[in-house]
Amino acid sequence: MTMDTIDRADASAIAGHSARTPHVTAESYRELYAASVADPEAFWAEQAQRLEWSTPFTKVKNTDFTLGQVSIKWFEDGQLNVAANCIDRHLETRADQTAIIFEPDDPATEAQHITYRELHRSVCRMANIMEDLGVRKGDRVVIYLPMIPEAAYAMLACARIGAIHSIVFAGFSPDALASRINGCDAKLVITADHAPRGGRKTPLKANTDAALLHCKDSVKLLMVRRTGEQTSWIDGRDFDYNELALEADDHSEPVPVDAEHPLFVLYTSGSTGQPKGVVHSTGGYLLFAAMTHEMVFDYHEGDVYWCTADVGWVTGHSYIVYGPLANGATTLMFEGVPTWPDAGRFWQVCEKHKVNQFYTAPTAIRALMGQGKEWVEKYDLSSLRILGTVGEPINPEAWNWYNEVVGGSRCPIVDTWWQTETGGHLLTPLPGAIDTKPGSATLPFFGVQPVVLDPHTGEEIHETECEGVLCIKDSWPAQMRTVWGDHDRFEKTYFSDYKGYYFSGDGCRRDADGYYWITGRVDDVINVSGHRMGTAEVESALVAHAKVAEAAVVGYPHPIKGQGIYCYVTLMNGVEPSDELCKELEKWVRTEIGPIAKPDLIQWAPGLPKTRSGKIMRRILRKIAEDDFGALGDTSTLAEPAVVDDLIDNRMNRA
Ligand code: 6R9
């Protein structure tokens, strides 16, 4: 990478635009970073003062990455409450400031501005309702809601009483919901009647009814009225939030919990088996979410900040709710989609609410880029100061479009690399401090020590320019603590392949300037429109169909989604392939997992390439799906080489 492709971090440009000085400069980044890794205890002890502790901590860091005894604790003898930090402590100075702007799906419906005072009341009411329904400190509550303010109320109400929430994305199926309710043994599910999105409606209450057929009878359901339409009702099990909120006391004392008390569990896909319940802590998580939100988005008092993610994903947890509210920010919650009623929707919302920081995913940028710049140019985007991206590698073409067309070449772009497991940004530019290069997540955030390992030897590569697997050498406060109910799986997944390191599952390249370029997953996880999916999950859904004998699923390059889902399907003896069956299987996977898992391409495979020991050779299947079968690599261990020729001849993704 040559210097001329560098986009200079121009502190004066940001400052000039907003009459503000960025939080971090090039010099202070270098100094602070060096200090943060030289003496993490001192660095984080000082940073932790940005939170309000009900019992101050005396211990800072107590972490061990040794396989067999992995343990991660930060601020372990301190106590605090997340809701008190995100709401109560702001009341003295900003009770009348907007905490949440709610922009509904339908642009004809008015937006809501919820002040910190109102947020406080609503969260207290929700906390009291939950307590009346029997939820206690440490209990799990599943949240299955649209992007409405009640989703934030529910999260913060759990935090207020020390309950642990687990959000399930509203696009997931009843089966996926049931497995998560059962996985964390939840006492209560909070849902809505319907979820309006992009002019359509998802019947969340009906989905929850279907899910609860597979759960314990004792699980209760609290329903928020979003559309007000009729739903089924089971007396004694179902409770009406809107009715109960009229009566509920709007005072509730926040319960101080240990810094290590779990704040939430969030299920995410891995390369094998069922999704894992990623457990995040209270103190370290909140500190890191708040600090990264402030520095990465160069957030200043009075800014309007918008992250377009869904609260069902980790990005929504850290960067719609916890980080911004801990900083006393105004955070925008958007219920809709980028392309409805038209491709100008994002920019119309930016203009309407004078958004200063805008944070979205490459898949949305690519989709909007395809619609043409006229949609962007219709709106006044002069309020924008910082543009962020997250979820997958961003191709330089999309980066440049985002920079020039959306940002008018005056807004620094922060390409933030992180994961559900990391809780917050690990590799990211800091506006005003770190020069950017299109497609690179640049350099580590404070306290984060990335290393590149040789995948074959497991040794750290010390040369600056190199390529390998991305691991992290030491702990950071928002690191996940365990897999819910399965600490062994936690150790095995993240600490066993490369001893002594946290293994991210991503490959990366480091250039001569020490910049990191994420090359994508090195395991069987695919990234479809920024959503993580285990190929194993789609495979097990396919083979659960009566007509399917075997299935193998891989990713392939997709112009908008980043990766598409390519399925090789072997049918049961005697079953004939047909277009109808193809449609039936697509629909089947949609209902088993959810619309985001719908196969893009299904190829009928009379046989799958296997080793003599019966292992499917995914490497070969990936190459065929990528239409790159000229370089299949070593095929000498194939049991039946002829099946490969058939798959190549009938491949779906011809260039
Ligand atoms: C926050 C989030 C994590 C995986 C991660 C990586 C990919 C995320 C990225 C990126 C390149 C970026 N990823 N951000 N790849 N550049 N800026 O997305 O969490 O859903 O757990 O996904 O997403 O492959 O390992 P999660």
Residue 311 annotated as lining a ligand binding site: no
Does residue 611 form part of some domain?
yes
Q: Which comes out higher in pLDDT, residue 654 or 241? A: 241
Q: Quick one: pLDDT band at residue 3, thresholds 50, 70, 90?
A: very low
Give the number of the atom of ligand 1 that is nearest the alpha carbon of residue 504.
Answer: 25
Q: What mean pLDDT do residues 157-165 have? A: 99
What is the structure's pLDDT at 190? 99
Examine the pLDDT at 9 and tell me if it is beyond 90.
no
The pLDDT tens digits of the residues spanning 480-521 come to 999 999 999 999 999 999 999 999 999 999 999 999 999 988
Residue 162 annotated as lining a ligand binding site: no
The pLDDT tens digits of the residues spanning 254-263 come to 999 999 999 9
Contact between 290 and 86 under an 8 Å Cβ cutoff? The reply is no
Q: Domain range for residue 594?
A: 529-650
Q: Ligand 1, residues 394, 494, 508, 518: which to mutate, most atoms within 8 A of Cβ? A: 518
Does residue 237 form part of some domain?
no
Examine the pLDDT at 2 and tell me if it is beyond 70.
no
What is the structure's pLDDT at 640? 83
The pLDDT tens digits of the residues spanning 168-196 come to 999 999 999 999 999 999 999 999 999 99
Prediction ipTM score: 1.00
Helix (H) or strand (E) holding 542: helix 535-543
Q: What mean pLDDT do residues 519-531 have? A: 91
Does residue 607 form part of some domain?
yes
Q: Ligand 1, residues 276, 296, 359, 392: which to mutate, most atoms within 8 A of Cβ? A: 392
Q: What mean pLDDT do residues 7-11 have? A: 68
Q: What mean pLDDT do residues 286-312 have? A: 98
Residue 560, domain CATH = 3.30.300.30
| C-beta 416 within 6 A of ligand 1 | yes
Q: How far, in Å, is the centroid of ligand 1 from the Cα of 420? A: 8
Examine the pLDDT at 17 and tell me if it is beyond 60.
no
The pLDDT tens digits of the residues spanning 98-144 come to 999 999 999 999 999 999 999 999 999 999 999 999 999 999 999 99
Q: pTM for the complete prediction?
A: 0.93
- The residue nearest atom 8 of ligand 1, judged by CA position, is 391
| Angle made by CA atoms 184, 187, 191, in degrees to the nearest 5 | 95
Q: Quick one: pLDDT band at residue 19, thresholds 50, 70, 90?
A: low
What is the structure's pLDDT at 560? 93
Does residue 31 form part of some domain?
no
Does residue 608 form part of some domain?
yes
DSSP 606: S
- Of 145, 204, 167, 171, residue with least CA distance to 595: 171
Does residue 153 form part of some domain?
no
Q: Greatest CA separation found in the chain?
A: 74
Examine the pLDDT at 277 and tell me if it is beyond 60.
yes
Q: How far, in Å, is the centroid of ligand 1 from the Cα of 246? A: 41
| C-beta 391 within 6 A of ligand 1 | yes
% of the chain beyond a pLDDT of 70: 98
- Structurally, how many domains does the chain consist of? 1
The pLDDT tens digits of the residues spanning 84-99 come to 999 999 999 999 999 9
Examine the pLDDT at 15 and tell me if it is beyond 70.
no
What is the structure's pLDDT at 16? 44
Give CA separation, 18 vs 21, 54, 295, 403, 408, in Å.
8, 36, 16, 18, 15
Give the number of the atom of ligand 1 that is nearest the alpha carbon of residue 393.
Answer: 11
| C-beta 441 within 6 A of ligand 1 | yes
Q: Outline where 170-203 has alpha helix (H).
A: 174-183
Q: How far, in Å, is the centroid of ligand 1 from the Cα of 95? A: 35
Please count the residues of the chain.
Answer: 655
The pLDDT tens digits of the residues spanning 33-81 come to 999 999 999 999 999 999 999 999 999 999 999 999 999 999 999 999 9
What does the alpha-carbon distance between residue 180 and residue 185 come to, in Å, rounded to a whole number? 8
**Average per-residue pLDDT for the chain:** 94
Does residue 580 form part of some domain?
yes
Cβ contacts of residue 424 below 8 Å, gap of 6+? 285, 288, 289, 291, 292, 318, 323, 418, 445, 478
Does residue 453 form part of some domain?
no
